[in-house]
Structure 1
Amino acid sequence: MAWRPEEDGLRQLSEYLKNSLSGHDRDKQKEAELMLMNARNNNDFVNYLTYIFSTPELSRTLNLAAPSLFLIRYAAAVNLKNHIKLFYSQIPPDQLAYIKVATLNVLRDANSQLRSFAGTVITETVQQGGLLQWPEILQELLALVSNSGGNVSVETQEGAMGALAKVCEDNRKLLDKEFQGQRPMAVIVPKLLEFASHQNPRVRTFALGTLKSFIPQKSQVLFSALDVYLQTIFQLASDPDVQVRRIVCQSLVQLVDSRPDMLIPHLEGLVNYILAQQQSADHPELALDAAEFWLSVGEQDQLRDQMGPYLERIIPVLLAGMVYGEEDALRLGGDENNADVEDRVEDIKPQFAQTKAGRGVVSVKDEESAPGTPQRNGTPQPNTDLEEGEVDDDDEDEDDWDDEDPENAWSLRKCSAAALDVFAVNYHSAVFNIILPYLKENLSHTLWPKREAAVLALGAIAEGCMEVVSPHLPELVPFLISRLSDEEPVVRQITCWCLARYSEWAARLETPAEKQRYFEPMMEGLLQRMLDNNKKVQEAGASSFASLEEKSGDKLKPYVEPILRQFTECFRRYKDKNMYILYDCLQTLADNVGPEIAKPPLVELLMPVLIERWNKIQDDSREMFPLLGCLGYIAMAYGDSFAQFTPPIFDRCIKLIYANLQQHMAFMSGQTVDQPDKDFIVTALDLLSAIIQAISPEKSAPLVQNSQPQFFDLLSFCMEDPTTDVRQSAYAVLGDCAIALYPSLDPYLPKLIPILIRQLDLDAIPDTDSENGFNVLANVCWSLGEIAARAPTSRLDSYVEPLYRGLLSLITNEEVPDAASENAATALGRLGLTCPAHLAPFLGELAEPFLQSMSKISTSHEKASAFVGFNNILEKNPQAMEQSLATYMGAIAQFPLKGRQGQEYNDVRASFARVIDGFGGLIGKERFEGFVAGLSAPVRAKLRDGYGVGVGGGGA
C-alpha cells in the first residue's frame, strides 16, 4: 500500500515551507525554519517532503494559488535535497525508494525550475549513496531523453537531460570505472553524442556540456571516440542556438588543453570559426568564450607555434574586442569628479594580512596587477545546483560576472587584451608590426573608447615586444604622459597602467639628460594622477607608482622629498578605499630607499599624517591590516629613529592581540560572539617584530618588560594558536627577541621551550595544510637556533634530548622541505654551543645528516655558528666521526679563507683548526696526512692553504 499523508500534517508542513521563504517577514521565516528543524524528528518527514515536492495536485487538496504552490513545492525540494545531503544514512530504504520514484516523476512536471531541482535531488541521492545504490537511474534518464516509448514530452526530455548532466558531472570519475566488466561511460558517451543532435537546443546544450566535462579527466571512452566527437562539434559549430555555440567554443578550449594534437589538422577552420564567433556583437558571452580559445592556445607549445600564419587575421579582431562596447562607453564616459565623495562600505574590497615568510625561507612576493591589467578568471559556468533559499530561473543562463562594474568583470575586452599579451610574448616583432599602424591611427583618436583601447593595446604588448617597442619609447612615453591629462578619466586610468608597464625602461635610463626627459616626467605624471579628481584614476595612479617604485629601487633616493610631499597630501585627501594602495606605495618606497626617508625633515613631514590616520582607524577596521604592515616597513627604514613613535604603537598591538585571543576563547567556549579574524594578530605580531628589529634593545626592552598583558605570556598563546599564520609570525617574533632582547626572554624559557618541543612533532601538522605547517616549522627551528646561540647551559640542559630527537627527525625525513630541514640542522648545531657534552653521545647518529643538510646552505654567520657548536660536540667525542670524517673535511673547505669574508669567519676557522689539530694528535700525524691525501684536490688545497694540512704540520 502506497504511503499517504495526513491532511492536517500536510497543511501544517506546507505552511512552514512557504514561510521559510518569506524574506519580507524575518520573524516568521525564523519561526518556520525552527519548526522545520523540529519536524525532522517525525519519522515521516522525508515522505512528506517528497509528497509535497512531487504532487502538482496539492493545490486542490490545500486550496492554494499557483504562486504559493510553487513556493511550497520548491521549499520542499530544497529541504529534501539538504536532508539527503546531511542524513542520507538515516533514511529508511522504503523512503529512499519513494524519493527515487517520485523525483523521476517530477522530471515530467510543467514547471522548468522544479524539473531542474528534480535533477539536483537525483544528483544528491547518487552523490550520497553512490551509483551502485541506484544503478538503474542512468538507463531511466537515458530512456526519458531518448523518448523510447514515444510518450515523453519535450519538457520531460529536457528535464531528464538536465538531470543526466548533473549526475554525470558530479560522478565523472566513478562513471569511468569498470562495474561488472563494463564502464558506464561506454554506454553514456554514445548516447550523449546522439543527444548532441537532438531537436531541442536545451538537450543539445546539456549533452555537449556533459561531454565537455569529461575532457579534463581524459576519459579513455571519450578519447577512443574522439573523431566522432570532433565531427559532432564541427557539425554544431553553426548551430542556430547561441548556447550551443558557446558550448562548442568552450569544448574547443578544453580540447586545446587536453588533446591539442587532434586539432592541428583543423587549424585553418578553427581559426576562422573562432574569429567569427568572437565578432558576435549581439552575443558578448559567446564572443568571450571564443576569445578564451587564444589564451589556451598560448599555453600549448604544439598549437602556439602554429599561429604565425594567422596573426594578420587574429590580431585585428583582438584589437577590436578591446574597445569598450557602446553601453559600457555610455556608462563610463565623462565619469564624474568624485574624489571628495565618501566611499560606501561595500565599495571597499576586503584586504588580508600577508603571511610572513618563514625565517630561512625564500619569500616570493606576489606581484599584484595594476588597475587595467588583463586577468583571466576562467569561463563562468551555469548555476546548476540551487542551494537552500535560492530561487533561480532555469531558463536564464546567468553568468557570475559583475555587471555593475565592467572594469572589474572578466570580459571580452580583458580576454582580448590578455590574448594579445600572449601573442606578443610568443611572436614579438611580428605582433608589433601588425599593431603599429593601429596605434598610429587610434592613440589620438577623437573618440575616447578608441584612444583608451589603443593605450590598453600598447600596454598589453609591453612584456613581449619590449625589445622592438624600445626604439619608439622616446616618442611614445612623452605622448603617454600627455594622455595623463586626457579629458576622460577612463583614458587617464589606463594610461597610468600602460606607463607602469614601461616603467622599467625609464628606470634603467642612465644619463641625467635621459632621466630628466623621460623618467622624471613619468614619475611626476603618475604622482599628479594620485591626486586626480576621480577616485579610480587616483587608484590607478597610486598602483602604477608602486610599480614604478619596485622597478626603480634605490634610484628614487634623490626624489624622496617630493614623493613624500605628494603622499602626505594623498593621506589628507584620500577616502577609505584608496588608502589601501597608498599604504602599499609608502611601504614600497620605504623598502627601496631605506634610511633615506629617516632624515628628520622627512620624518616631520610624513609621521604626523600617518599618526593622524593611526588615531582615526578603529581597532576592528580591516584598514588596520595594511596600516600595520606599512608601519613595519617604516620602522625598518627609520631604524632607531622610530623609537620616538613606538610606545603607543607597541601598546596598541598588544591590546589588539589580547582582544583577539580573548574573543577566540569566548567563541570556542560557545559564547555568542563572532569568530575572530586572526589577521589582526598576524599583522600586529609582524609590526612588533619590525619594531624589535629596528630600534635599540635599550629602547625596546622596557616596552616588552612593561607590556600589559605580559608580552611573553601573550606570545606563548600565539605560539600554540590553531591558525598557522599566527604561529608562523609568533615564532618570528620569538627569534627576533632572542637576537635583540635575550635578557628579557630568558626568565620565560621554562614556559616557552616545552611549546617549541611540541611544535617539532611532524604528526601535529595536518595533511590539509602541510605547506603552511612546514613554514611554521621553519620559523620554530630558526627561533630555537637563535635561543640556543645565547642561552646558558643551565637553561637548556634539561631539554636537550627531546630537542635533539625532534630536530633530528626533521633532518632525516625526506618529506620535510629544505627550508625547515636546514633550519633544524642549524638549530641542532647551535645547541652544541652550550650543551656539547649532552649531545656528544649522539654524534655518530647526527653527524652525517647534519653535514648533508649543512652542505645545502650557503655560507652565513648562522651556518658558521652551527659549525662552531658542532665542533664543540665533536671535540667531546671525536671517535664517533670515523664514518663522516671525509664529509666533514669537505664542509670545512666550503668556508672562505681570505679577504674580508675570511676575516668575518675567524671564529669558525679557529674552531676548525682546533679540531684538525686534535685529529692529528688523536690518530697520529702521518696517518692523518695519509687520510687527507685521499680527499679531492680542491678540498686538499683548501685544507693546505687554510689550515696547513699537508705541508709538514698537523694543524694551523
Structure 2
Amino acid sequence: MLCPRYVRIFPKCLIQIFRDCLSDPSMYSSLDCYSFFSHHTASLRKLSLGSVNQYIMLMPTVLYVSMDKYLQGLFVLANDPAADVRKLVCAAFVQLIEVRPVFLEPHSRNIIEYMLQVNKDPDDEVALEACEFWSAYCEAQLPPDNLREFLPRLVPVLLSNMVYAEDDESLVDAEEDGSLPDRDQDLRPRFHSSRLHGSEDAEDDDDDIVNIWNLRKCSAAALDILSNVFGDDILPTLMPIVQAKLSATDDATWKEREAAVLALGAIAEGCINGLYPHLSEIVAFLIPLLDDKFPLIRSISCWTLSRFSKFIVQRIGHREGHEQFDNVLMGLLRRILDNNKRVQEAACSAFATLEEEAAEDLAPRLEIILQHLMCAFGKYQRRNLRIVYDAIGTLADAVGGELNQPAYLDILMPPLIAKWQQLSNSDKDIFPLLECFTSIAQALGIGFSQFAEPVFQRCIQIIQTQQLAKVNPVSAGVQYDKEFIVCSLDLLSGLAEGLGSGIESLVSQSSLRDLLLQCCMDDAPDVRQSAFALLGDLARVCPIHLRPRLSEFLDVAAKQLNTPKLKETISVANNACWAIGELAIKVHQEISPIAMAVISCLVPVLQQAEELNKSLIENSAITLGRLAWVCPELVSPHMEHFMQSWCTALSMIRDDIEKEDAFRGLCAMVRVNPTGALSSLVFLCKAIASWHEIRSEDLHNEVCQVLHGYKQMLRNGGWEQCMSVLEPPVKDKLSKYQV
C-alpha cells in the first residue's frame, strides 16, 4: 500500500503506475515491460517536467527495486513517434542523473548514445530536453572518461544547435530601433540586492546572453561546462569548425559566424590554457566584428570580448597589449552608442565587466569614458538606461577617488541630478539611480558633500512615505513597495561610508534615528538587512546620534541572532551581528547589558561553522572579540565554552582592522582569566599563527605577552608538549614571537 504522503504529492497518473507495479508481480519479472509502459504512455505525457525531481526523490521502495525494469521501459519508449513521449524520456534521464546518478552509471554508454542521437531531434523541445543532459552529467560527478570518447561527435552537435533558429524571437528583437520608447512590458523585473557586510559569494551573471532559455542557450551552456571539465581536450574538434564558420564572410552565413563567436566566449574560461598562445590574435579578430553590419554579431562580439577581459587587462603593461586594450575599450564605447537596443545592452554589460578587471587602469581614460556614458544616458530608452546606471556605478567602484575631479564631475553629475529631480518618489525608475548614487558617494568620499543634502533628504522622504503607505496607502498617496525603503537605506549607507563624520550634521537635523529603528523591526527580512547595515555604518561615524535609543537598537539586533529561523534570515543576522560589534567599540560599557545575551547566540553560530555561511561566522567571531575587548570581565569567565570554535573561526579571517579588534578581545580575556584558555591552547596558537603580519605594534606586543605568559605557566615540559602537536608552518609563524 502506498504511503499517504506519496498519495498527496504524486500525480494520479504516476500513483496508478506504482500501484500497477505493486499489484502485478509480472512487473518484477523480465516480461513485457513494453506493454506496461505503452499502457501508461498517456499518463506519462501528463507528468509535469518540473515536478519529476520531487517524485524521484520520494519514489517508493518498489521503484528502487525495479529500477532496471523502469530504465528498460524508458529505452523501449525512447524512439516513440510522439515527441511528447521522447521529451519525457529525456527528462526522466536528466532528472535521474541529477538525483540518483548511480542508477544510470551501468547504462551510461547506451544513454549517452541515445542522448547524442536525440540532441539532433527535429523537434526543438525534445532536443532541448536532451541537451540538458550534458550539463547534468558533468555536475553529477560521474566518471568523465565515460563521456570523453563521445566529444568528437557531441561538440559538432552543440555547435550546430548554437546557430539561431529561424523562429528565434531574438532575430526580431535584434532589429529594434534604439530611438523607439520602451513599453512597460519591455522592462524586465529588477531585483535590488540588500547591503551585506562581510564575505559573500558573488554570482557571475555575465552569461545572460539571451532572455529565453532555448536550444541555442542550452547548447552554449553545455559547451561551457564541457570546456571546464575536459579543458583543452575539446579544442582539436572545436577549433576547426569555429575557424571554418568564421571564414565564411557572405551575408547568408552570418548566423554561422555569430554561433562561432558565441562558442569562443563559451570556452573562454575552460580552455584558457590552450587558447592563451592565440588570444592576441583572437581578440584582434573580434575587435572588427564590433562594427559588423549584423546587430547580433556586434552584440555577441561584445560579450565574447568581455569573457577575455582578464587577459586583455593583464597585457596593458606591454606596448601591443596597451594598444589592444585601447582598441577594445574604444570599440565597446562605440557600441554603447549603437542605434540598436540589443547591441547597446550587450556593450554596456561587456564594458561593466571590463571595468571590474581594469579598475585603476581606467583612470587615464576617464574623460572619454564619461563622455560616452553620459551621451548614452541622454540617448537610451528606459530599459537600457538601467544598464547605463550600472556601468556608471561599476566605474565609480573601479576607479574610486580618481573620479573626484571637477572636470569629471562636471560631465557626470548634471545629467544624473537632472534625472534625479525629474523622477517622483514613487517612480520605480529611481531604483537604479539610487544604486548608482550609492557607488558614486562611496567613490567620491567627502567630495560628494556638495551633492549630499538633497540626496539625504530625498531618502528620508522616501522612507517616511513608504512607512506611511504600509499602514495607510490612501493617506500616503502611493502603494507600499519595500524596495523603495531598501534602496534608500543602502544609499544612506553609501553616504555614511563616503562622507564619514561629515554626515553627522545631516543626521542630527533629521528623523533618521527613529525611522531606522522602525526599519530594524520591519517584518520584511531585506528591509531589516539593509537597516542593520546602515546601523553599523552610522555606529562607525556618528554613534552619538544613536545613543538616545541605543538599548532599543541593541535589543532588536540581538533578537536577529536568537531565532529558530536563523538559516532563513542569515543575511539579516549577519548584518545585525556586525552592527552590534561596531556599536560595542564605540559605546564601550554601554553594551554590557546585552553582552552575554549576544554571546549566548554567537557561540552556537560558531559551533555550526560548517553549516552556516562564511560571512556570518567571520562577523560572529569578530563581534565576540569586540565584546570581549570592551567588557572582558563579563565574557572571560565563560571563555572555555567557546575558545576552540572561536579560535578556529579567527584563523579563517583575513588580516584587517576587524581582526585586530577581535584579537584585542582575546588578549583582554586571557589577561583576566588565563586558565580559561588552557584547554584550547593549541587552537589559540593556530589562530595567532593565522596572521601574515600584525601591523599594530601594541597588538603584536600583547600577543607576544600572551604566548610568553603561557610558556611560563606551563612548566615541566607542558609548553614543549603543546608545541609538539603543531604543524611546522604554525611553529614557524610563532617563532616571530620568540617562543
Q: What TM-score does the superposition give when structure 1 sets the normalisation length?
A: 0.68
Q: What is the deviation of 1:206?
A: 4.9
Partner of 1:692: 496
What CA distance in whole angstroms lies between the structure 2 residues aligned with 1:684 and 1:844? 43
- Equivalent residue letter for 2:130: A
Q: Quick check: 1:715–1:730 contact (8 Å CA) kept in 2?
A: yes
> 220, 223, 226: which one pairs with 1:420?
223
Higher relative contact order at CA 8 Å, sep ≥6: structure 1 or structure 2?
2
Q: Secondary structure at the match of 2:150?
A: helix
Report matched runs for 1:223-302 at 5 Å. 223-257=64-98, 270-281=111-122, 283-302=123-142
What CA distance in whole angstroms lies between the structure 1 residues aligned with 2:54 and 2:601? 47
Q: Structure 2, unaligned stretches of length 5 or more?
A: none
Residue-pair matches, total? 727
Q: What is the deviation of 1:827?
A: 3.1
**1:317 has 2:157 as partner:** yes
Q: Secondary structure at the match of 2:587?
A: coil
What CA distance in whole angstroms lies between the structure 1 residues aligned with 2:687 and 2:104? 54
Partner of 1:726: 527
What CA distance in whole angstroms lies between the structure 2 residues aligned with 1:130 and 1:218? 11
Q: Structure 1, unaligned stretches of length 5 or more?
A: 1-125, 134-163, 177-181, 373-406, 950-956
Residues 645-654 or 802-811, more deviating: 802-811
Q: Quick check: 2:651–2:686 contact (8 Å CA) kept in 1?
A: no
Fraction of identical pairs, as percent: 33
What CA distance in whole angstroms lies between the structure 1 residues aligned with 2:690 and 2:82? 77
Q: Secondary structure at the match of 1:620?
A: coil
Q: Quick check: 2:194–2:490 contact (8 Å CA) kept in 1?
A: no
Q: What is the deviation of 1:530?
A: 0.8
Q: Secondary structure at the match of 2:517?
A: helix
> 288, 292, 295: which one pairs with 1:482?
288
Give the 3 Å change call, closer, same or farther, for CA 195–633 of structure 1 in structure 2: same
Give the 3 Å change call, closer, same or farther, for CA 171–546 of structure 1 in structure 2: farther
Q: Quick check: 2:28–2:69 contact (8 Å CA) kept in 1?
A: no
Give the 3 Å change call, closer, same or farther, for CA 778–214 of structure 1 in structure 2: closer
Report matched runs for 1:116-515 at 5 Å. 166-169=11-14, 194-198=35-39, 202=42, 205-206=45-46, 214-217=55-58, 219-257=60-98, 270-281=111-122, 283-302=123-142, 304-328=144-168, 332=171, 335-336=174-175, 338-357=177-196, 359=197, 361-372=198-209, 407-443=210-246, 444-446=248-250, 447=252, 448-515=254-321
Which of 1 and 2 has greater Rg? 1
**1:753 has 2:592 as partner:** no
Give 1 or 2: higher helix fraction.
Answer: 2
Report matched runs for 1:789-828 at 5 Å. 789-791=585-587, 793=589, 795-800=590-595, 802-803=597-598, 805-807=600-602, 810=605, 819-820=615-616, 822-828=618-624
Q: What is the deviation of 1:700?
A: 0.8
What CA distance in whole angstroms lies between the structure 1 residues aligned with 2:662 and 2:52? 59
Q: Quick check: 1:499–1:544 contact (8 Å CA) kept in 2?
A: yes
Partner of 1:776: 572
Q: Secondary structure at the match of 1:524?
A: helix
- Equivalent residue letter for 2:134: W
> 565, 571, 574: which one pairs with 2:377?
571
Partner of 1:531: 337
Partner of 2:675: 882
What CA distance in whole angstroms lies between the structure 1 residues aligned with 2:155 and 2:14? 36
- Equivalent residue letter for 1:660: Q
Q: Quick check: 1:628–1:683 contact (8 Å CA) kept in 2?
A: yes
Q: What is the deviation of 1:226?
A: 3.3
What value does the CA root-mean-square deviation take over the aligned residues?
A: 4.1
**1:908 has 2:709 as partner:** no
> 544, 552, 555: which one pairs with 2:350?
544
Q: What is the deviation of 1:327?
A: 3.3
Q: Secondary structure at the match of 1:410?
A: coil
Q: Secondary structure at the match of 1:324?
A: coil
- Equivalent residue letter for 1:776: V
Residues 911-920 or 531-540, more deviating: 911-920
- Equivalent residue letter for 1:365: A
Give the 3 Å change call, closer, same or farther, for CA 598–184 of structure 1 in structure 2: farther
Give the 3 Å change call, closer, same or farther, for CA 753–274 of structure 1 in structure 2: closer
Q: Quick check: 1:724–1:773 contact (8 Å CA) kept in 2?
A: yes
Q: What is the deviation of 1:890?
A: 6.7
Q: Quick check: 1:333–1:490 contact (8 Å CA) kept in 2?
A: no
Which deviations, in whole Å up to 9, do the C-alpha atoms of 1:253-280 show, x marking residues without a partner? Answer: 3344456566566666555543443334
- Equivalent residue letter for 2:300: I
What CA distance in whole angstroms lies between the structure 1 residues aligned with 2:598 and 2:103? 58
What CA distance in whole angstroms lies between the structure 2 residues aligned with 1:486 and 1:197? 52
Give the 3 Å change call, closer, same or farther, for CA 240–844 of structure 1 in structure 2: closer
- Equivalent residue letter for 1:369: D
Q: Quick check: 1:340–1:575 contact (8 Å CA) kept in 2?
A: yes
Give the 3 Å change call, closer, same or farther, for CA 788–262 of structure 1 in structure 2: closer
Partner of 1:589: 395
Partner of 1:954: none
Q: Quick check: 1:370–1:543 contact (8 Å CA) kept in 2?
A: no
Q: Quick check: 2:187–2:383 contact (8 Å CA) kept in 1?
A: yes
Give the 3 Å change call, closer, same or farther, for CA 259–741 of structure 1 in structure 2: closer
Q: What is the deviation of 1:712?
A: 0.9
Q: What is the deviation of 1:715?
A: 0.9
What CA distance in whole angstroms lies between the structure 1 residues aligned with 2:147 and 2:734? 59
Report matched runs for 1:647-658 at 5 Å. 647-658=453-464
Give the 3 Å change call, closer, same or farther, for CA 235–538 of structure 1 in structure 2: same
Q: Quick check: 2:670–2:676 contact (8 Å CA) kept in 1?
A: no
**1:683 has 2:487 as partner:** yes
Q: Secondary structure at the match of 2:285?
A: helix
**1:580 has 2:386 as partner:** yes
Q: What is the deviation of 1:682?
A: 1.6
Q: What is the deviation of 1:221?
A: 2.0
- Equivalent residue letter for 2:403: I
Give the 3 Å change call, closer, same or farther, for CA 585–891 of structure 1 in structure 2: same
Q: What is the deviation of 1:679?
A: 2.0
What CA distance in whole angstroms lies between the structure 2 residues aligned with 1:211 and 1:499? 38
Q: Quick check: 1:196–1:203 contact (8 Å CA) kept in 2?
A: no
Q: Quick check: 1:351–1:625 contact (8 Å CA) kept in 2?
A: no
Which deviations, in whole Å up to 9, do the C-alpha atoms of 1:193-218 show, x marking residues without a partner? Answer: 644224x9635745998999854546
Report matched runs for 1:637-652 at 5 Å. 637-652=443-458
> 392, 409, 412: which one pairs with 1:606?
412
Give the 3 Å change call, closer, same or farther, for CA 225–559 of structure 1 in structure 2: same
Q: Quick check: 2:607–2:645 contact (8 Å CA) kept in 1?
A: yes
What CA distance in whole angstroms lies between the structure 2 residues aligned with 1:268 and 1:834? 65
Q: What is the deviation of 1:677?
A: 2.4
- Equivalent residue letter for 2:185: E
Q: Quick check: 1:530–1:542 contact (8 Å CA) kept in 2?
A: yes
Q: Secondary structure at the match of 2:188?
A: coil
Give the 3 Å change call, closer, same or farther, for CA 518–239 of structure 1 in structure 2: same
What CA distance in whole angstroms lies between the structure 1 residues aligned with 2:455 and 2:28? 65
Give the 3 Å change call, closer, same or farther, for CA 756–510 of structure 1 in structure 2: closer
- Equivalent residue letter for 1:367: D
Q: What is the deviation of 1:812?
A: 5.9
> 646, 664, 668: which one pairs with 1:868?
664
Give the 3 Å change call, closer, same or farther, for CA 186–724 of structure 1 in structure 2: farther
Report matched runs for 1:17-28 at 5 Å. none
What CA distance in whole angstroms lies between the structure 2 residues aligned with 1:658 and 1:185? 68
Partner of 1:519: 325
Q: Quick check: 1:859–1:895 contact (8 Å CA) kept in 2?
A: no
Give the 3 Å change call, closer, same or farther, for CA 621–868 of structure 1 in structure 2: same
- Equivalent residue letter for 2:486: V
